[in-house]
Amino acid sequence: DIGFVVGYNGDIYKTTDSGTTWRKLNSGTTLHLHSVYFIDENVGFVSSHAMSDCLDADCDQGSVLLKTINGGDTWTKTYFPDYIRILSLKFFDPLNGIAIIHKTDIPNSRDEYVAITTDGGSNWNLLDLDIKRYSSSLYFVDNIAFVASENNQIFKSSDHGQTWQTISTPIESNYDIRNIYFYNENIGYIDGVSHIYKTIDGGVNWEETDFPFNYFGTFHFSSENEGFNIQPIAEYEDLDFPTYRGSISYETLDGGTTWTKSEIIKTLYLRMTFFPRKDLGYGINFSEFSIIKK
């Protein structure tokens, strides 16, 4: 029933009725907010983008991490002057968390890091993982974390980011890992731009799939066999900007062996999705700027 969404200008909204109504909270900042994660209905964290040349008291202080222990009624701030963005927040308990952190651009040096905290976000340890440049997302199944590496491998951690296992993939060097999705520790999929691959043994072996779509839109499995992908459809007019025509939904009941394709759904274009349970999802519908529930 309880959920949170964050956005630009310090906006934080809270629902207590599964998204039917939303109440704006006082975040105490006008910085753009990027990521939100709540451990339970009371303890939660929100991260910001660093900003300068503005009037907010938080400007020119780096990225800010907000923390609440009373469900968002009040927030405390921790400043990180050297961080530009804190993205993809996930906390395993009130102390142990993980994120992707972008630091100030320094020539010939790494700017993006996987980082872990063991003190509730007060301090972050930047890990020496060769993650993909411009990374903005960690991928999770339960408490297992995945992130794409620079050389088309996958890093995996099962202990809150303390140690990482390297998983090889069959993606060629001239392509990239565009998306990662794992249903559980063993069954997973990777979008390699030219092909989509599936593993049933945690990445030890990968098999090229014969899917009727070439990339993940909203890709989700509610069981080992039942899944869907909602792919937006765009057409270029006058070779300028794409015009979005809607979305096509693909559904499988046999683990991706066969798919049922829908007609184009003109009113649907999901930009972000979140599944608090395997059978319950929310998405931001771009065409209407509304939150929809399925």
The reported pLDDT for the residue numbered 238 is 67
The residue-averaged pLDDT of 209-228 equals 92
Q: Over 70: is that where the pLDDT of 288 sits?
A: no
The reported pLDDT for the residue numbered 96 is 96
Determine the straight-line distance between the first and last CA of the chain, rounded to whole angstroms. 14
Q: pTM to 2 decimals?
A: 0.90
What does the angle CA 267 – CA 138 – CA 182 come to, to the nearest 5 degrees? 75
Q: Is 65 left (phi over 0), alpha (psi -120 to 50) or beta?
A: beta
Q: Over 90: is that where the pLDDT of 40 sits?
A: yes
The reported pLDDT for the residue numbered 287 is 59
List, edge to edge, every strand of the sheet that includes 12-15. Answer: 3-6, 12-15, 23-25
**pLDDT tens digits, residue range 129-146?**
999 888 889 999 989 999
Q: Over 90: is that where the pLDDT of 28 sits?
A: yes
Cα distance between residue 278 and residue 150, in whole Å:
30
Instruction: Give one DSSP letter per residue of 219-283, joined into a string.
Output: EEESSSS-EEEEEEEEEESTTSSEEEEEEEEEEESSTTSS-EEPPPBTT--EEEEEEEETTEEEE
| Mean pLDDT for the chain overall | 91
Neighbours of 212 (CB within 10 A): 14
Which of the four pLDDT bands, split at 50, 70 and 90, describes residue 57? confident
